[in-house]
Chains A and B, each alone.
Chain A
Amino acid sequence: AQSVTQLDSQVPVFEEAPVELRCNYSSSVSVYLFWYVQYPNQGLQLLLKYLSGSTLVKGINGFEAEFNKSQTSFHLRKPSVHISDTAEYFCAVSGAPRAVRGAQKLVFGQGTRLTINP
């Protein structure tokens, strides 16, 4: 089974400052990793995903994340945030296709609330 830990429940940042949202996972099988963003009273929007290949993944809205297998991490970064980035961010993991049945379900972290202050 997989699990995800988002180390920070809340992250306040000033506008135009850089930000890093931390995510660590545990799994006994190969994994796929995802970051989703949720704006108030809305569903989840995919920011980026790591399936294979380059460990540095670029997503929408200027976000990027780096898969670090040795540290079992998939931290999300943005070099300069905007007020509009204020939202809840979820890291999620699923088992790769050859994983045992059931491991392909998405497992979510508890979320990190990113607040951008002017």
Chain B
Amino acid sequence: GAVVSQHPSRVICKSGTSVKIECRSLDFQATTMFWYRQFPKKSLMLMATSNEGSKATYEQGVEKDKFLINHASLTLSTLTVTSAHPEDSSFYICSARPPGGQTQYFGPGTRLLVL
């Protein structure tokens, strides 16, 4: 149980284009999902907390207009990197937390490369 998927697993795009990453909880409902960014050989940095049916809460220093988050249903959250630039290249990981639960379950990650 507690499986989280991400799509795509890796994506290469041209500078200036937008990329959408999907995060789905497959066998449980998640009122709260989280988006993290991980640089090579580094720890995870929380970007934003996504709550179903409401606006996401962004961490300090994360541009909300650049990283658009939508949590349209209890099993799906999306992260859209708008007007991507090479410095946005990174490993993006989502997690989901069941209602009332204390544990976050992580997706397999999406590797983004912006050329």
A43 touches B103 (CB 8 A): no
Q: Mark B75-110, 1 if CB is under 8 A from A, else 0.
A: 000000000000000010101000000111111110
What residues of chain A lie closer than 8 Å to B43, measured between beta carbons?
Answer: 90, 108-111
Binds B, one of A12-20, A45-53, A64-72: A45-53
Which residues of the partner chain A approach B46 to less than 8 Å between Cβ atoms? 105-106
Q: Which residues of A contact B109 (CB under 8 A)?
A: 41-43
A74 part of interface (Cβ distance < 8 Å): no
Q: Jot down 22 A-B pairs with beta carbons below 8 A, ordered by A.
A: A41-B91, A41-B109, A41-B111, A42-B108, A43-B4, A43-B6, A43-B106, A43-B107, A43-B108, A43-B109, A45-B106, A46-B105, A49-B102, A49-B103, A90-B43, A94-B102, A97-B102, A106-B34, A106-B104, A108-B43, A110-B43, A111-B42
Question: Which B residues form the contact surface with A (CB < 8 A)?
Answer: 4, 6, 34, 42-44, 46, 49, 91, 93, 95, 102-109, 111
